[in-house]
Structure 1
Amino acid sequence: MKKWLILATVLTLALVVAACGANSDNSKETMGGISNASGNESSTSESEVVITAKNWDFDQKEYRIKAGETVDLTVKSAGGVHGVRILKTKYSIGNRETVAVKFDAPGTYDMICSVPCGGGHSLMKAKLIVE
């Protein structure tokens, strides 16, 4: 019985670690929010913000954009497969996707990783500050 428990623990740990380690160039994920079909409609946007995600962390704790301005938000994964969901909005951005966003009023929004990516997944948080 003890051997089965150890085996199950090792297999579970391997699955958790592998969840963030998978990085397929062919993955195109739609996370349920508004997204561009082509991923490159930046001609209507006034600027671009790139959010780089790696295992259990974003490259910045805060991202800033201007109120009333259309901004392309792009998610790039430096390790594993990640996505971003902006809480209390309709915006969700998958791995290697670009979504044009516009916020009319200043405010602060919490962003989280929208793709379960292992043991540190719950730590993947950042803020989008609309000025």
Structure 2
Amino acid sequence: MKKWLLFASALCLVFVLAACGANTAKEDNKEANTTAADSGSASDLVVTASNWKFDQKEYKIKAGETVNLKLDSVSGLHGLQIQKTDYQIANGKTVAVNISEPGSYEMICTVPCGTGHREMKATLVVE
């Protein structure tokens, strides 16, 4: 019984470390990125994620303006969710984001990426 518990614990540890250590992942879902490229007025914002942090603590966009938000991971595998909205962005994907309500929105990593995962946060300021 102890051997089984030790094996299961080691296997869980490997999965947690692999989520943060993998830089590229093949996705079965080949759906296209959702962008606002057709409108011509959309700006681009790239959020770069690495192990347990985003490249900035704060990002700013204008209320009611469509922004093509892209998530790039330079180390590890990460996802992004904008709290209080329905926006979730997978690694390497771009999503057209339009938030009409000004305020501060917390952005968090959605992929368990190791020991610093809970602290992996940034703020999206909608002005």
Measured in 2, the distance between the counterparts of 1:124 and 1:16 equals: 15
Equivalent pair of 1:28/1:95 in contact (CA under 8 Å): no
Work out the number of aligned pairs and report it.
125
Equivalent residue in structure 1 for 2:104, among 99, 108, 112: 108
Q: Which amino acid aligns with 1:89?
A: T
Aligned positions of 1:1-131 closer than 5 A: 12-27=12-27, 37-39=31-33, 40-44=35-39, 45-131=41-127
Deviations 1:30-83 (A, max 9, x none): 9xxxxxx42154232520100000110000000100111100100000011101
Distance 1:29 1:80, change over 3 A: farther
Unaligned 5+ runs, structure 2: none
Amino acid at match of 1:109: Y
Structure 1 pair 61–96 and aligned structure 2 pair: CA distance change class (3 A) = same
TM-score relative to the length of structure 2: 0.82
Relative distance call for 1:29 and 1:124 in structure 2 (3 A) is: farther
1:20 is matched by which residue type in structure 2? Answer: C
Identity of aligned residues (%): 54
Asked if the contact 1:85–1:112 (Cα under 8 Å) also holds between the matched residues in 2, the reply is yes
* TM-score, normalisation: structure 1: 0.80
User: More deviation in 12-21 or 104-113?
Assistant: 12-21
Measured in 2, the distance between the counterparts of 1:38 and 1:7 equals 39
Structure 1 unaligned blocks of 5 or more: 31-36
After TM superposition, give the deviation of residue 3 of structure 1 in Å.
8.5
Indicate the SS of the match to 2:26.
coil
What is the distance in 2 between the residues matched to 1:57 and 1:74? 16
